[in-house]
Structures are given as C-alpha cells and as structure tokens.
Amino acid sequence: MSPARRLQGVKSSPVRDLLALTLRPEVISFAGGLPAPELFDVDGWTDAFAKASGDRRNLQYGPTEGDALLRALIADRMTHRGVPTAESDLLITTGSQQALTLLTTILLEPGDVVAVEEPTYLAALQCFQIAGAHVVPVASDDQGMVPESLAEVLARDHPTLIYAVPTFANPTGRTQPRERRQEIANLAATHNTWLVEDDPYGELRYEGAPVPPMASYGDKVLYLGSLSKIGAPGLRLGWLRAPQELMPTAVIAKQATDLHTSTIDQAAAATYLSNTDLNAHVAMLCGAYKHRRDTMLNALPTTVPTNTTWTTPEGGMFVWLRLPDNANTEHLLPKALSNNVAYVPGAPFFATTPDHATFRLSFTTNPPEEITEGMHRLSQTFNTPTKQTHP
Amino acid sequence: MSPARRLQGVKSSPVRDLLALTLRPEVISFAGGLPAPELFDVDGWTDAFAKASGDRRNLQYGPTEGDALLRALIADRMTHRGVPTAESDLLITTGSQQALTLLTTILLEPGDVVAVEEPTYLAALQCFQIAGAHVVPVASDDQGMVPESLAEVLARDHPTLIYAVPTFANPTGRTQPRERRQEIANLAATHNTWLVEDDPYGELRYEGAPVPPMASYGDKVLYLGSLSKIGAPGLRLGWLRAPQELMPTAVIAKQATDLHTSTIDQAAAATYLSNTDLNAHVAMLCGAYKHRRDTMLNALPTTVPTNTTWTTPEGGMFVWLRLPDNANTEHLLPKALSNNVAYVPGAPFFATTPDHATFRLSFTTNPPEEITEGMHRLSQTFNTPTKQTHP
C-alpha cells in the first residue's frame, strides 16, 4: 500500500475533527486531553523565557541530543522517581509524541507487529498505522494490560514492540500495580521484545501510593516522558530514555527529523526547572485536579443512564465510561454538541473491534463549576432522569 | 533491510562528528552552516518572547497546521516574493528539515526512487536513506541541476520525487536561472513527478537580480521554507507550502509526528514578524554576509593550491571547492584541525560516487577578521605558497 493510501486509512484524526467542533466558546468540552490553562505558571515561564531569549546562544542551532542542563535536570528527576538515569540515557524530543515516532522509525518495518493494550492512546495507534505496522490488541482489565493476554500475543504474533500507558492510562485512567508491572517487564525480557512505556501523567496522582515507572522493572523498557502535563504543552518538550545500544540510532533519526528540538524552549525549561519548585507546582496541580475529578465522579450517578459503568482513576486526566443497551456514543455526540457539551467517543481508541458504547471524559481542562454545568448538559443529552425523579 | 540496519547504513552523520571536533574554542570553523550569532536580533526576539510567554494561551496545545497569524504573515511574505500563497497552503513545521521528513513519510515507500542534484544537502540524503528510498543523482553544472540529465533520469528511473536547493544551493552555492527553472518545472509537470524546492537561503542575495522561487513556475512544486537563516535557527520554525490535494495527508502525518510545532515559538515569531521590519534586518544580514563572502573569495587565491576550482555564490552561505591532483579532503581534515581550522569534506554530499577532492566552506558564521585568520590557517594546511613567494 502506498504511504498516501495508508495515511488516508489512518482513522481520519477524530480528535482533530472533534476539537474543531468544540472550539465554539459556548461548548464545555470534556473531549481534549488539555491541562487547565489557568493553572499554568505564567510568571515562572515568562521569567524563564526572558532569561533564555536574552542569551544569543539560545537562538542558534543546538546539539541533536538536547540541552545539556535540561537533560541533567530531567535525569535527576527520573532518578528521584525510582528510575536511575544518566544524562546520556536521554534524548530530548519535540514532545513525547515525537519520541514515539522516532521509535517507530528506528524499530518498525511495514508489516511488523505492535502489541497494544486495548483501548489505548489514539495518536499512538495513528503512529503505528502510518509506520505500516500490524497492531494486535492485548486485553486489559481494571489493572491495565492483562499479562496472560500479553503472553499469548507474544507467543502467537511475535510483536516487535509492546506499547502501553501503564499509569493513569489514556483513555481509561487505569494504573498497573507493581506485581503486574514486574510480570509484564519479565515477559518483555523473556521474549526479547521492546516495551514502550508512555508516561505523560505519572506525576499527577491524587490518591493511593505511587508506583515506580515500568522502566525501573527491566532493561527492555523504552520510556517516554513529557513536560506537557506538569509544565506546559505549548513548548513541546518530551524525552526518550533508552539503552545505549539504541541511542546512536535514535539520535540519527532525530537529526534527520528536525535536527533538534527548539533551543530556546529547552533553555527556558532548564531555567524553569532550576529556578522553580516543580514539586510544589505539581502538588498544587494535584490538589486542583483531584477536586475536578471528584466533582465529575460525584456528578456521574445523576448524569449517565443506570447501568453505565466507569473507571475511578487515582490520577491523570481521564474517566472512561460505557453506556448500557448497545448505545452508540458517536451517534449521541451531535446531540451533546447541540447541548453545548463535548466528549470523545471511544471507538477510535480501539485497534481492532471498537466498543461503540464507550466514551472518554477529561476532567482537567475545566474548573469545577464548569464541570458541574457540563455534566448537567450531558445528563440532558443522555435523557438521564434528574435527581428529583428519584425521591 | 531492518530500519536499524538501514540507519546504521546512513552515512553516520559526518556533520555531527565534525561539529564535535570544531567545538574547541580555538578552532575557526568554516564547517557548519550556521548563521552569525552576533547578528541575531536578540532585542527583537526578547521582546517577542516577553509578549508571547505572558499570554497563557501560548503555553497550551495548539492547532496542528500552526499559528493562524504566523501562517498569514508567511503567506504574505511568500506572495511578495512572487509565489501567491494563502494561509491554507501552509503547514508550519519544526524547521524545514521536518517538512522534508513529512514529505518522505507521505510520499515515499521503501524502494521508491528520489532524484537529487549531485552534490546536495547531506541531511536530505539521510532523510531519503532512512525512508529506504533509492537515490539517483542528476548532474549539475554552474547553473545547478542540468535539465537534460533530469529528463534522462525521469524517463529511465521514474522517480517519485525530485529534490533540489535551486537558490544558493547547499553545498555548492549555485543558483538555477529563470529559464532553467521553467524547464525543470515543466519536466516535473510532464512526468507528473513532485519537485521539492528546499529554499532556506533564497532571501540572502548579495548581488545579481532575484530569481522567483521554483514554486512560481509550476503546480508540482512542494516548497520548503525556513526562518532559520533570516530569523533564528534555535526556534526551529519552517513551513511546507503544498497543494490542497496533499495538505490533509501532510497534516495527519504532522499530528502523528509531534502534534504541532511549539506554540510559544510560533507566537513569538508572529509577534516578531508583526513588530519588526524583517526586510531591513535581511538587508543588514546581506550587507554583512556579502563582506564575509568577499573576504573569503578574495583570500582564496592565496589560500588554496594552484588549479583549485571554486564557486562564486551570489548569495547564501557556502563556497564549494575542488582541489587538484586527486587530493583527498577527508585525509587533509585532521591536519586542518591541528591548525585550528575546519571545513566539511565534500564526499557526504554525494548520493553515489563521491568526489573526494571537494570540500565546502561556510562564510557566514565568522566575522571578516576571523575569516582572514582562518584562511591563513587553511593555507598552511594546504602548504600553499604565500604571496611573498610569487613576486
């Protein structure tokens, strides 16, 4: 198949189409996975950019691997999170999305098999489809990817890589517990298969004990990190943590892709990380997001039809729901939009057979009062009997 | 061939290896294609980033196509340069290098043929090699790509795309005149083959009359533009101008690659282009770079051995030279570096059989007095008799 044909086959970017629909200011959108803009540390970033843009070296070309200070600061942060990391283990990328694309470039040929938990992050699915990979689903339950299902897929399909969002997954919000991480890392090691851990949400935990990243459980883990959710997504700063055997190839691919990531954004981020107490900022975010999550979860019983099921995420950005009675959330979306509220239908998150009754709600983008109003509009969309009718 | 194997085969990034050698402060480097850092408009960029970073919308995710104001301003600029362009014809990319990568993603399958003028930009060659393309050289003369040679390649090899830097080429500094542009654009149209015009240097003309970009000569031209040489490369801002038939596919590929280019860098660039007289800045650059070019060209007769040949670029950044007597510029490089001067050997710029006697000098990076000193060191490297010995 030609690349143009293959790209036309890529599920034509439902998030993009949706975001277009949700740009009307009167729409309360639970669709996009956007952090709360009013919680950005504008003063901190303004100071950082003032310092970075005043140094003419930051307007020049820079090294492909990334800003040395930024790499050192991120290595430190990862080490403190339980993943011992040296500067040389890291490649700065233009968002963690680019890190994933680089991995498909250096590891996948058309026809290669990729194993993904189902449902999973739809832009990862796009990435694999563009690479011409054959995507095979692994079953997931309330604790994420199911090891028995993964073992089956590994034995039967011999995937080149396994992709997962093990912590506060997109779209389900689920988190793999320690034991399961170890099991999955062992499976990857036994089958000598790369395991890609996409971890943009890991630091956004609102309850429960932290679980170390998968990368601390085995050597076959390729870790994708991001400043988008704890810093600011507009800077497009992410990173790949990979073993030395892969790094030179990843660097060549990065160079051919965009030479390097924005020098000035990297310098500003290094300044920001040096001058700011990011842990305090993350704690503030977690407090605010916990309140938003709770507002949404508390509203759910009176928002969605009886027998709807949903996840209760301990962190991250998303609640994943399933309507009863063979409902179709794509068919319901126009009604939601006419009620000035938006969500993402679940189908595009499935690599194979979609479950059309599923959908995703993001609770981070809107303040609590907007969430309450949005959930009210959603209840009208679903014709959910209001509280008053249940005396 | 597996992608990892293919990447190992990619000429292992000679520019990178070289840049590492030239980082010693005592080295005067004519190697990298870097703009002069002391000519960056630091004040203008500082103001632009102060304004951009103070608006929290610029820290959030943005549209994949790019910042609307930036696209409008670039469309205007292209229209004024003779290429009528609407905002919707443009996709903002993370440097023009990314625009080239996106084109390989959407247009090339492994085994497809790409026709390139020889010698050509080495990171473009890397890009095509990573895509698994079969690169076929087209002969070039003092006016760039030779139409008769291109006609032969089109008839024989049926390339999927043709790649050229028609204005102040990298590495040769040569420019295709109008008539040749029309001939080449016609050939591309007749054979229904995409022609990629990479144009990072087009506005840096020091003498002679401007020639409109190839994109004004035909519909099969895909234009790659860049702010790196007229603004600042650290921001990694480039663009693809493509016909509507390709744009949706290019946007999906861009989204899968890095979602979008840095929101804040785009907003700063839009502010900068709105508030600054970029034409005046470019005129200043042209004055300074002309002086540097002349300093280098004037020094050449006493720098290089008799019977060395070189190009006399009307603009851009590079002089391309050929030593006599089967000299090998790779073998001479260590001696140059021991003399604390650097250049790029020509071999990696060839898709097929390299001419080892060739090399590239960049005249933009260093001020005139450094160029004079560097050329002196180069004359010692080549054992060129000094002026005094030619009374």
Q: What is the CATH number of the domain that holds A168?
A: 3.40.640.10
DSSP B139-166: -EETTEE-HHHHHHHHHHH--SEEEE--
Output the pLDDT for position B325. Answer: 87
Same domain, A243 and A123: yes
Q: Is A265 on the interface with B (CB under 8 A)?
A: yes
State which of B277, B310, B335 marks the end of a domain: B277
**Residue B234: which of A53, A128, A209, A199 has the closest Cα?**
A53
Same domain, B192 and B288: no
Q: What is the pLDDT of residues A172-223, one digit of tens each?
A: 999 999 999 999 999 999 999 999 999 999 999 999 999 999 999 989 999 9
Q: Say whether both B123 and B21 belong to one domain.
A: no
Per-residue tokens: A256: 């051919």
Output the DSSP codes for B56-100: GGGGS---TT--HHHHHHHHHHHHHTT----GGGEEEEEHHHHHH
Same domain, A208 and A271: yes
Residues of chain B found within 8 Å of residue A130, distances taken between Cβ atoms: 105, 252-253, 256
pLDDT mean over B46-58: 97
Are residues B234 and A64, on separate chains, in Cβ contact within 8 Å? no
B179 CB neighbour count, 10 Å cutoff = 10
Of the candidates B254, B281, B275, B305, the residue with the CA atom closest to the CA atom of residue B103: B254
pLDDT band at A383 (very low <50, low <70, confident <90, very high): confident
Check: CB of residue A94 under 8 Å from CB of residue A226. no
| A104 and A241 assigned to the same domain | yes
Check CB contact under 8 Å for B256 and A232.
no
A-B Cβ pairs (cutoff 8 Å, strict)? 222
Q: Choose among B46, B62, B108: nearest Cβ to A50.
A: B46
- Distance CA(A51)–CA(A334), nearest Å, equals 47
Q: Which of B277, B306, B322 is the last residue of a domain?
A: B277
Please give the mean pLDDT across all residues of chain B.
93
Residues A286 and A265 in one domain: no
Predicted local distance difference test score (pLDDT) of residue B16: 57
Name the residue among A3, A48, A265 with its Cβ closest to that of B108.
A3
A317 shares a domain with A177: no
Full-model pTM:
0.94
Q: Is the ipTM of this complex over 0.90?
A: yes
Q: What is the average pLDDT across B20-26?
A: 78
Structure tokens at A147: 């090891």
Please work out, in degrees rounded to the nearest 5, the angle formed at the alpha carbon of residue A79 by the alpha carbons of A78 and A85: 85
- Report helix, strand or coil for A332: helix
B245 touches chain A (CB under 8 A): no
d(CA A46, CA B59): 10
Q: How many domains does chain B have?
A: 2
Tens digits of residue pLDDT in B173-207: 999 999 999 999 999 999 999 999 999 999 999 99
Residues B156 and B297 in one domain: no
Same domain, B231 and B313: no
Please name the residues between 337 and 376 in chain B that touch chain A, using a CB distance below 8 Å. none
Is residue A170 a contact partner of residue A201, using CB atoms and an 8 Å limit? yes
The residue range of the domain holding A147 is: 42-277
Residues linked to residue B359 through DSSP beta bridges, in sequence order: B321, B345
Query: To the nearest whole angstrom, how far is the Cα of A91 from the nearest Cα of chain B?
Result: 15
Q: Where are the alpha helices (DSSP H) in chain A?
A: 3-9, 14-21, 42-53, 68-80, 95-107, 122-130, 147-157, 178-190, 247-258, 263-275, 278-299, 329-338, 368-381
Question: Domain end: B236, B254, B277, which one?
Answer: B277
Distances (CA, A) of B36 to A179, B173, B229, B289, B297: 55, 17, 9, 9, 18
- Whether the pLDDT of residue B390 is over 50: the answer is no
For residues A155-169, average pLDDT: 98
Asked whether residue A28 falls in the same domain as residue A108, the answer is: no
Helix (H, G, I), strand (E, B) or coil at A68: helix
The CATH number of whichever domain residue B341 belongs to comes to: 3.90.1150.10
Report which of A277, A244, A269 is spatially closest to residue A67, judged by C-alpha positions: A269
CB A232 within 8 A of CB A269: no
Give kind and range of the element (H or E) at residue B197: strand B194-198
Q: Which sign, positive or negative, has the C-alpha torsion A346, A350, A352, A358?
A: negative
pLDDT of residue A2: 56
Give the C-alpha distances (Å, rounded to integers) separating B223 from B105, B206, B240: 16, 22, 6
In this prediction, residue B316 carries a pLDDT of: 98
Q: What is the pLDDT of residues A240-286, one digit of tens each?
A: 999 999 999 999 999 999 999 999 999 999 999 999 999 999 999 99
Q: What is the pLDDT of residues A12-53, one digit of tens each?
A: 555 456 656 677 889 999 998 999 999 999 999 999 999 999
B273 shares its domain with B343 = no
Instruction: Examine the pLDDT at A324 and tell me if it is beyond 60.
Output: yes
Residue A313 sits in the same domain as residue A344: yes
